[in-house]
């Protein structure tokens, strides 16, 4: 009797979401929660550092940029390493590494060392995110894959937001160094726990021809009996190539998809960071009190969180990139309306909430869709490089915003310009949708003309 053949993707797609899969997603959520806390840590402690080191906040700007540059480099370098050695080891190494770097940051004697250590911390942070996205995507069934990845990503937003409350208490009682100590100890402890609990992706193990017993042990934890002599397979387009993962991004007609995804990520993150950095200033310049401007700006993150919770089901049920194109187009409308809101607080609250819903929700959706767009052998590289290119946009956005503000533009004209990047992201998303549809049609015709499809 022939050994049963099990396709990994079909096995995961056809079964209910198990407790074991939920454990994997929960661990990835915890990891990105700590990532979010550490990413925002420098913002929490900036006033205290400025006071202790007797420097202006403007002199701290390079330190902020250093984290983003480190995250960009970490995402670019970590992707190919992960697709060669595995999601689990690189994810755990990145988690432990940025924990150690955060601990060392607490010992920084001056701004120079603070900048260096934040750059080094960013390398670890940049490695963690694409691996968490890929691992979650590879454990989730197709019917809820986008939803699962986006819900997991909420951990990052929660870590960034709740970290502010924790940091306020720590700085008041123990000094700014305590924020980095907590932000270092927790990732190190989480890395030890994940070492015992977090599995490798079974799809990756099969692609890399790993020991069958290891794959069998992981899949049996889904709660389904599997024969000892089962043969595990992946689909033809999932198999390992001899080319480097970065070169594979441009092979087999993927060049167009890759370039368009990079455009989406660059433009989306450029707008997101422009809004996050400059909204309080622009709103207060219109005559709204500074305290109110800060509270109104918080609607951007609240809208983004709601968008993340809602849009996952949209992407799972509709043509995902076409839906993403519509979301970004709606984002442009809200951004233009922000510029026309003037001093109307209700109008500002509504339009900024809408902008956050579409821009942040859309970007988190793009993370999930990028993971679905590449096969296992290059998935982390695809996500990592898209995030890395996007990080360049996150650096450019605030700089461009500062230049525009220095020109004394009218607010409505400023936000008209700010709407352009998400319009470009919308066009790029729609182009991806068209290219995927055209690529699917020949396969559909081939299937219909084959003997198995003729019955």
**Which has more confidence, 438 or 413?**
413
Q: For 171-286, where are the E strands, in sequence order?
A: 231-233
pLDDT of residue 264 exceeding 70, the answer is yes
Residue 314 CB partners (closer than 8 Å, separation 6+) = 323
The mean predicted confidence, pLDDT, of the chain is 84
Do 5-238 and 245-434 fold alike per CATH? yes
> Most distant CA pair in the chain: distance in Å?
80
**pLDDT mean over 96-124:** 90
Q: Which long-range CB contacts under 8 A does 191-197 form with residues at least 24 apart?
A: 191/92, 191/95, 191/96, 191/99, 193/27, 194/27, 194/31, 194/91, 194/92, 194/95, 195/92, 197/23, 197/27
- What confidence score (pLDDT) does residue 240 get? 63
Cβ count within 10 A of residue 91: 28
The more confident residue out of 93 and 273 is 93
The CATH architecture to which 5-238 belongs is Up-down Bundle (1.20)
Strand, coil or helix: 233 = strand
**What is the Cα 201 distance to its own chain's centre?**
19
Report how far residue 377's alpha carbon sits from residue 12's, in angstroms, rounded to the nearest whole number: 18
Q: Delimit the domains of the chain by residue range.
A: 5-238, 245-434
Token representation of residue 329: 């187009």
The dihedral built from the CA positions of residue 76, 78, 80 and 82, taken in this order, carries a sign that is: negative
Task: Given CATH 1.20.1250.20, say whether it is the number of domain 245-434.
Answer: yes
Closest CA to 246 of 84, 127, 99: 84
The whole-model pTM stands at: 0.84
Contact predicate 129/387, CB 8 Å = yes
Q: Which residues contact 101 (CB under 8 A, 6 or more apart)?
A: 117, 120, 121, 124, 184
Q: Find residue 232's DSSP bridge partners.
A: 6
Q: Residues 6 or more apart from 28 whose CB is under 8 A from it? A: 132, 135, 136, 152, 155, 198
Condensed to tens digits (0 to 9), the pLDDT of residues 19-69 reads 999 999 999 999 999 988 887 777 677 777 777 777 766 677 777 778 888
Which tens digit of pLDDT belongs to each residue from 200-255?
Answer: 999 888 888 777 888 889 888 988 888 888 888 877 666 666 667 788 888 878 89
């Amino acid at each position: 009797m022939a050994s049963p053949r099990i396709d990994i993707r079909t096995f995961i797609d056809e079964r209910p979401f198990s407790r074991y899969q939920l454990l994997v997603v929960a661990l990835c959520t915890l990891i990105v929660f700590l990532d979010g806390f550490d990413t925002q840590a420098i913002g929490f402690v900036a006033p205290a550092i400025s006071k202790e080191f007797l420097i202006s906040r403007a002199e701290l700007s390079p330190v902020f940029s250093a984290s983003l540059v480190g995250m960009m480099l970490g995402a670019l370098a970590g992707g190919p390493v992960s697709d060669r050695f595995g999601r689990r080891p690189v994810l755990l190494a990145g988690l432990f590494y940025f924990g150690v770097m955060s601990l060392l940051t607490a010992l920084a004697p001056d701004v120079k060392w603070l900048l260096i250590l934040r750059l080094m911390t960013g390398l670890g942070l940049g490695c963690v995110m694409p691996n968490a996205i890929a691992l979650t995507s590879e454990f989730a069934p197709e019917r809820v894959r986008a939803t699962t990845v986006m819900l997991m990503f909420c951990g990052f937003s929660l870590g960034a937001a709740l970290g502010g409350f924790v940091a306020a208490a720590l700085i008041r009682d123990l000094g700014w160094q305590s924020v980095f100590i907590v932000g270092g100890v927790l990732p190190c402890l989480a890395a030890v726990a994940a070492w015992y609990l977090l599995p490798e992706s079974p799809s990756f193990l099969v692609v890399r021809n790993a020991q069958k017993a290891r794959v069998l042990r992981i899949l049996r934890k889904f709660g389904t009996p599997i024969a000892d002599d089962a043969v595990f397979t992946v689909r033809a387009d999932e198999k390992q190539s001899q080319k480097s993962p970065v070169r594979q991004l441009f092979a087999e007609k993927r060049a167009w998809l890759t370039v368009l995804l990079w455009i989406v990520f660059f433009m989306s993150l450029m707008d997101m960071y422009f809004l996050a950095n400059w909204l309080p200033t622009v709103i207060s310049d219109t005559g709204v009190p500074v305290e109110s401007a800060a509270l109104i700006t918080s609607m951007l993150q609240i809208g983004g969180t709601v968008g993340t919770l809602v849009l996952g089901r949209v992407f799972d049920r509709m043509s995902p990139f076409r839906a993403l194109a519509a979301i970004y187009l709606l984002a442009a409308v809200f951004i233009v309306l922000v510029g026309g809101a003037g001093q109307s607080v209700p109008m500002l609250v509504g339009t900024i909430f809408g902008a956050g819903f579409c821009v942040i929700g859309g970007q988190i959706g793009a993370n999930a869709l990028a993971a679905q767009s590449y096969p296992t052998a290059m998935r982390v590289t695809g996500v990592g490089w898209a995030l890395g290119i996007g990080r360049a946009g996150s650096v450019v956005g605030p700089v461009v915003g500062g230049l525009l503000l220095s020109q004394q533009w009218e607010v409505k004209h400023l936000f008209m310009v700010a709407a352009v990047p998400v319009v470009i992201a919308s066009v790029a998303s729609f182009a991806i949708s068209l290219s995927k549809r055209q690529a699917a049609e020949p396969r559909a015709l081939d299937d219909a003309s084959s003997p198995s499809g003729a019955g």
